[in-house]
Amino acid sequence: MEASMEQKFQEKIDNDIRIEPKDWMPEKYRKTLIRQISQHAHSEIVGMLPEGNWITRAPNLRRKVALLAKVQDEAGHGLYLYSACETLGIERTELIDQLHTGKAKYSSIFNYPTLTWADMGTIGWLVDGAAIMNQVPLCRCSYGPYARAMVRVCKEESFHQRQGYELLLTLSKGTPEQKEMLQESVNRWWWPALMMFGPNDADSPHTAQSMAWKIKRFTNDELRQRFVDMCVEQAEILGVSLPDPDLKWNEERGHYDFGEINWDEFWNVVRGNGPCNKDRINTRVKAHENGQWVRDAASAYAKKQSEKKSVSVA
Ligand code: BYC
């Protein structure tokens, strides 16, 4: 019985028919989606912290407004993604608890510190750039609510990437100190940005199954390669070098070759020992506790409204 349900499910996937919340799905598909979508939602929420640090220090009103809007967008992305995840039969409180207790992962990139103003531009260029590369194919993910959420997320991410690149372009035309700040920032973020795509395909336990289910449309290495190819030209326009002596065009492959990622550093950060992991989680837990009164007020209001409704129906 189960086998034929699974066959029908796979046929739908193979024919690019979306899976919706009430459709039958294998338990492993549901669990994989909960893992990936919640990790993604957590990344958006934790991702507000490195940039939030710089809102009060933005150099002018235009930059402050753009940065505020970007950080707010990320809160919104977290909320759509938590909602998409809840359609799989898990409560948001449980998801948030998994983040706070360290059971759920979030992107490694947000465990690095933002030391200079140039980091606001570099995050937009490289981190949002990598996010777009990874997320545009997710608009064609087989699970309907995730795919639909990603359409809006990607539109907003494109604005984030542009604001970052434009910020860096301004620095690239500035004083020698500004140019130096730009290069130093790119030097720190380049390798962590490449790590965002996850382990090499050979070491990725989930890729093969997620590709068969069309949750992922490209492998980690395919997306990473596209990202490197795209960045080289953009770096030239900015007049910065990318900190990789092995980066060079390979005529035969039609792609840039690049050096080996420091996977020890990657796994160390993923396991909770990066420069900012503890600080990020502590800050999130504190913010959540401080927001308890807002949740209480919202539930009290919702309860009052539903009482009023039931009185008027009666
Ligand atoms: N950091 O078999 P794999 C953003 C984990 S951008 C931490 O390849 P999968 C934003 C992985 O979870 C960032 N952990 O897994 C941008 C798995 O561990 P578990 C968020 C990582 O799922 C700007 C293990 O390593 N984007 O949101 O097939 C501003 C093996 O990996 C990382 C998304 O989440 C990492 N970098 O592929 C604000 C996009 N990489 O779960 C916000 C959606 C891997 O077995 N997610 N791991 O314990 C995806 O596309 C995929 O989940 C990944 C990983 C490509 C990230």
What does the alpha-carbon distance between residue 292 and residue 294 come to, in Å, rounded to a whole number?
A: 5
Ligand 1 pocket residue status of 73, Cβ below 6 Å:
no
Q: How far is CA 14 from CA 11, 59, 163, in A?
A: 5, 51, 38
- Which H or E run includes 255? strand 255-257
Residue 17 has pLDDT above 80, yes or no: yes
pLDDT tens, residue by residue, 78-95:
999 999 999 999 999 999
DSSP-assigned states of every residue in 245-265: TT-EEETTTTEEE-PPP-HHH
What does the alpha-carbon distance between residue 154 and residue 238 come to, in Å, rounded to a whole number?
A: 24
Distance of CA 21 to the CA centre of its chain: 23
Residues 167 and 126 sit within 8 Å (Cβ to Cβ): no
Half-sphere exposure (Cβ direction) of 14: Cα atoms closer than 13 Å? 6
Give distance in angstroms: CA of 134 to centre of ligand 1.
10
pTM: 0.95
Ligand 1 pocket residue status of 220, Cβ below 6 Å:
yes
What does the alpha-carbon distance between residue 215 and residue 227 come to, in Å, rounded to a whole number?
A: 20
pLDDT tens, residue by residue, 137-166:
999 999 999 999 999 999 999 999 999 999
Lowest mean pLDDT among 89-93, 131-135, 180-184, 310-314: 310-314
Residue 234: pLDDT band (50, 70, 90) is very high
Task: State phi, psi for 221 to the nearest 5 degrees.
Answer: -70, -35
Give distance in angstroms: CA of 62 to centre of ligand 1.
32
Ligand 1 pocket residue status of 176, Cβ below 6 Å:
no
What does the alpha-carbon distance between residue 49 and residue 98 come to, in Å, rounded to a whole number?
A: 18
What does the alpha-carbon distance between residue 188 and residue 114 come to, in Å, rounded to a whole number?
A: 10
Residues 50 and 112 sit within 8 Å (Cβ to Cβ): yes
Give distance in angstroms: CA of 313 to centre of ligand 1.
48
Locus of tokens 């792609």 = 255
What does the alpha-carbon distance between residue 16 and residue 201 come to, in Å, rounded to a whole number?
A: 24
What does the alpha-carbon distance between residue 273 and residue 277 come to, in Å, rounded to a whole number?
A: 6
Cβ partners under 8 Å of residue 140, min gap 6: 147, 214, 217
Give distance in angstroms: CA of 90 to centre of ligand 1.
20
Average pLDDT of the chain to the nearest whole number: 96
Give distance in angstroms: CA of 53 to centre of ligand 1.
24
Residue 1 has pLDDT above 60, yes or no: no
Residues 24 and 10 sit within 8 Å (Cβ to Cβ): no
Mutate to test the pocket of ligand 1, among 67, 81, 105 (most ligand atoms within 8 A of CB): 105
